[in-house]
Every structure is written in structure tokens, then in C-alpha cells.
Amino acid sequence: MSIPDPYLPPPSQPWGRWVTTTLRNYLAKRQEFDTATYNAIKQLNVSTYQPMRGVLWNQDGDTITITTAGEYVPMNMAGTVDTATTFNMEVTGAPNVTGWKNNTNQARTVIMLASYDGKCGNNHAMGLKLALNGVPIDATECRSFAGGGGQVGKTFTHWIQRMEPDDEVTMWAANIDTTDDLEVERLKFIATAIP
């Protein structure tokens, strides 16, 4: 907004100039304040972490082909996303759809909880690991046993992982003892960012 120069009779010109100068100064200060406020809010928005969480589950089960005993392979089991809970994360794509991707522009530290119920032959051990961008994280390995009568066992792991933008964390599984395929009955993968 601009203030026009006053067109007042000569005796009133000093007063008119004072009024217009004061208004110009006021508007300049106001614009300065608005710009500073905008920049401060922008910085706050950039530095404030966005919420991030995901819930993925599968209750239908699937079979994971095992070719080498003790070798971890991508689970690649499609699951259902709880859309009411999931925010700022998306399910990973091929070659392993059993995972979470950071689809924000912020690096975040994320707590991961992953489990599956399955079996791979009587009294055989089965394993679970998480992988970052397709590289298994050995420290996340957990194992369990299926029962001698073909009962299902539960394998569970948890981890805290720094995720850069577009990073993916996925579930990998193994039959530790033999090459029997892994029959998974259900799985869950929950992720939530630390504030």
C-alpha cells in the first residue's frame, strides 16, 4: 500500500507531510514485522518434526520359498495398511513389499516392531531380520522354533533406526536349519518416529 503525496494548501503542507511520512514509516515497520514473522514461522515449521507412523499387517498368510538353509530372504508378503493410523510413511515396493518407507523430507529416528507367526518343518528354527535399503541389519536377528507337531511359532524383533528421506526398512526371514519353505500365517510391522 502506498501513501500519496499530499495536495494541501501551503499552510497545511508541513502537517500533511508529517502525517504521510508517519504513515509511510508505520507501513514499512509493519511490512518488516510481517516478513520477520513469516520467516520465523517458516523456520519453526522446518525444524519441527512431522509425526510419522505406520501399521502393516497380514492375517491371510503366505509361503516364502527357501532355497538355502540359514540364508535370509525378503519376505515380500503384501499386507494391509491401517490408514487411520499410518501417517508420513508408505509401504515399500518390489522386491520386498513387507516394509516401510520414509516419504517425508526429514531424517527421523524410528522405533520398529516386527513379528510373524510361522513354521518351517518340525522343530526347525526360523529367523527374522530387518533390512535397511535391502541390506539386512544383523543386530536385529531373532529366532524361534516351530513345534514338533507342526505347531506355529512366533518370531519377533524390535529396533530403533535412523531413516533418511526415501529410506526403506523391510522384513527378511529364514529357515535356519533346512530348505523347507517357510509357511507364514500372519505378520505385523509397526513403526513410529521418536519425537
Domain ranges of the chain: 10-47, 53-193
Tens of pLDDT, residues 180-191: 999 999 999 999
Looking at residue 48, its pLDDT comes to: 66
Among 73, 162, 160, 59, which residue's Cα sits nearest to residue 115? 59
pLDDT band at residue 140 under the 50/70/90 scheme? very high
Domain 53-193 has CATH 1.20.140.10: no
In DSSP terms, 99 is beta-bridged to 170
With beta carbons less than 8 A apart as the criterion, state whether 177 and 125 touch.
yes
With beta carbons less than 8 A apart as the criterion, state whether 191 and 112 touch.
yes
State what percent of residues in the chain have pLDDT above 90: 67
What CA–CA distance (Å, rounded) separates 164 from 150?
Answer: 41
pTM, to two decimals: 0.75
Quick check: 98 pLDDT over 90? yes
For residue 121, count other CB atoms closer than 10 A to its CB.
18
Rounded (5°) CA angle 116-144-86: 25
